Chain A
Amino acid sequence: MTAKIALALLLAASAGYSWDEIKGVMIMQGFAGLSLFSIFLLMALGLAIIFGQMKVINMAHGEFLTMGAYTTVFLSWLCESYAPGLLAWYFPVAMILAFFVAGSVGFLVEFAIIRHLYKRPLDTLLATWGLSMILQETFRQIAGARETSATMPEWLMGSLQPFEGVDIPINGIFLLGASLVLTVIVVINLYYTRSGLRVRATVMNRDMAGAVGINTRMTDRMTFALGCGIAGVAGAAFTTVGSISPSAGGLYIVDTFMVVVFGGAGSIIGTILAAFGIAQAQSVLEFFLSGVLAKVAVLLAVVFILMIRPQGLVVAKIRK
């Protein structure tokens, strides 16, 4: 990697760029990698809980993300129409609301569909895929087929200029902050609270957990709802960088599974590492190659590494 950067610098220098320009672009490029990392992390956190902890293959994960995004769009429209004064500060409220909207739908979905399928993991794949189609059509009926986007508060737009020639996008900083806060909340919740302990106990040994008095059904339901709620928050955060359409969820689902599987299902640390690795690799390759080639290279690398290490980067230690 260092050799490559050195080579690039040499090329750049010979192409007549000044040192300041190269430095500026390197800083911005570093940040581009970080903001892609935060996007991957936000997408994958919810799934890391649902797929990683519960082993439910939730193909409708992207739709919970879309649900959170639509909640934000709806709230921004509401503010614009009835209370333009609140437009500057509706966004944090939208994120919290997105959590509860997506979370409660997740709660209902677990109750109606998922709980009947814990013993048949492949069937959850089909059931949740069907669910994703139903949800997409529902969005289309309610919100219309066109691409929409939320009106962003002024303070989220534009860029910071720490010095001449360097623009750091404010929405990127916001995304990074949101993903870090959310990760900390999830880790604390899973590893340092009673409810997290119950989740881990249920995952490791359902019968044993039930025997010691844990309500495993309720634990499942809350865990699934939590994962969906986090997807909702991620969706809300994405409205700062992208667009919303009924089928937008499908764009994210592949990358999301890639991150979670690559990181080693069941490990939050693994998810973070995988998100960071894939994001940096993709961002650097996009800069030196081209968009399509970068994607191909990253996918090949992931396939190759998973062939050598099928369990993913980090393995949760569970006694079988």
Chain B
Amino acid sequence: MPNPTTRPGALSRIMRSVVMACAAIGSAMAVEDGWTNPVLDKFPTAAVNTTGLATGDHWVTVGQLHSVTGTMAISETGSVEAERLAIKQINDMGGILGRKIKIIQEDGASDWPTFAEKAKKLLIKDKVGTVFGCWTSASRKAVLPIFEKENGMLYYPTFYEGLEASKNVIYTGQEATQQILWGLDWANKEKGAKTFFLIGSDYIWPRTSNKIARIHIEKHLKDCKVVGEEYYPLGHTNFNSLINKVKLAKPDVIYSVVVGGSNVSWYKQLKAAGITGASLAAKKQLLLTISTTEDEVRGIGGENVEGFFACMKYFQSLPNENNLKFVAAFNEMYKDKYAGKAVVGDVTQAAYLGPWLWKATVEKAGSFDIDKIAAASPDVEFTGAPEGYVKIHKNHHLWSKARIGEMMLDGQFKVLAESPELIEPNPFPEGYK
């Protein structure tokens, strides 16, 4: 907007003194907050923040945008907690470029337009630049145009259907092919499975996942076929008819992409109908899921899922040193809430990666500017990841491994197999569309 005043010089003088005053107050506050930047002369604010983000001499502000109320709060709480843990640990180590991290948290309230509105608030009013947030694909799709228009950076933690890559998003969860293909290969090679029954909740992620699974089974696995494919509405609680169909079809693999509260009904009714891990194993069948993590099992009850298999990139029981430290730190930070029995699932771990990857990227770029972060992201590594080593691909997804876990009575998973190499993320898989 052109400046309507006839004395621009005077106004800009006033503006300048206002800005100076604000900056003075800001830096005074930073000192009052008890933190001064030890490396400020090396990374002056004018150099690391050229686009007017809410980043001062001593502090950098980030946004956090998850649902803490509404139906998705169940799933997103773990992500909120893991991101806060990572940020606390980074702050304890002295922050990023000498600046400690402040969080502005907003609640998406499980409502997609609210996510969009809050994203606007964080990027335009609060000028945070980087946001850790979202969980469902619907919420990500709602905020994506805003992140692209306002040039923000979103660290998105959930495994999802793929078919997306944005300069303004880093996807720390698996895209569909990373989670599906290797798991199907495992069922085929290790368990000799030939027939598959695909089951899912009725929305984009399960449908896309099963589409990829079907193509892989029919085209890439030898002599294998899909003997059924079924979808039920989200929140559906009655699976008896479906279970009868599965019994009649006698598939080697029941492939489940049932999500949310439906999971509890689905597994309880399977057990009530006499389908358990043991009864399937006796008939050389198995149930493989890509949608049930430790988080869900806590609500379902270990006795209902014992002996079923899941394909994820992370399980809480992974024995490596990074993970032991991570789980211990998580328990320590939230000891009042979980009394040392915190349950950490795949997405929670992926959310924990977000702040660390951001830190590594900012340090590599030497800047908080979003364009520089986006450009510096490819090949950024994080060796301290609980899941093991991860690296950002040039398509902004992560290279990561896939693993098979067997569900146990106590709600944990026993890791049975893992892919030998990091799997390349491929959000637009040729031949799987």
Contact = CB atoms under 8 A, between A and B. Distances in A.
A291 B265 contact: no
B231 A290 contact: yes
A158 B69 CA distance: 35
Interface in B210-260: 230-233, 235-238, 240-245, 247-248, 260
B269 A241 contact: yes
Contacts, number: 126
B206 to A, nearest CB: 12
Nearest to B270: A169
A140 B73 CA distance: 10
B298 to A, nearest CB: 7
B248 A25 contact: yes
B273 A291 contact: no
Given A167-B274, A171-B272, A242 B264 contact: yes
Contacts of A172: 240, 272
B235 A251 contact: yes
B300 interface: yes
A14 B303 CA distance: 38
A88 interface: no
Nearest to B200: A291
B429 interface: no
A72 to B, nearest CB: 14
B237 A251 contact: yes
A146 B298 contact: yes
B268 interface: yes
A311 interface: no
A292 B202 contact: yes
Interface in B283-333: 295-296, 298-301, 303
Nearest to A29: B244
Contacts of A31: 240
A295 B233 contact: yes
Interface string B193-214: 0000000001000000000000
Contacts of B273: 28, 159, 167, 169
Contact of A247 (B70, B232, B236): B70
Interface stretch (A47-55, A117-125, A147-155, A210-218): A147-155
Interface string B72-101: 011001000000000000000000000000
A15 to B, nearest CB: 9
A28 B230 CA distance: 19
Nearest to B279: A167
Contacts of A161: 274
A251 B264 CA distance: 14
A183 interface: no
Interface residues of B, number: 42
Interface in A269-300: 283-284, 286-287, 290-292, 294-295
A5 to B, nearest CB: 14
B71 interface: yes
A170 interface: yes
Contact of A28 (B73, B74, B247): B247
B71 A247 contact: yes
A240 B244 CA distance: 19
A245 interface: yes
A146 B269 contact: no
B271 interface: yes
Interface string A243-279: 1010110010000000000000000000000000000
B263 interface: yes
25 contacts: A17-B248, A25-B248, A28-B273, A29-B241, A36-B238, A145-B68, A145-B69, A145-B73, A145-B77, A147-B296, A157-B272, A158-B272, A171-B272, A241-B268, A241-B269, A241-B272, A242-B265, A243-B237, A243-B263, A243-B264, A251-B235, A251-B237, A287-B241, A291-B202, A292-B231
Interface of B: 68-71, 73-74, 77, 202, 230-233, 235-238, 240-245, 247-248, 260-261, 263-265, 268-269, 271-274, 295-296, 298-301, 303
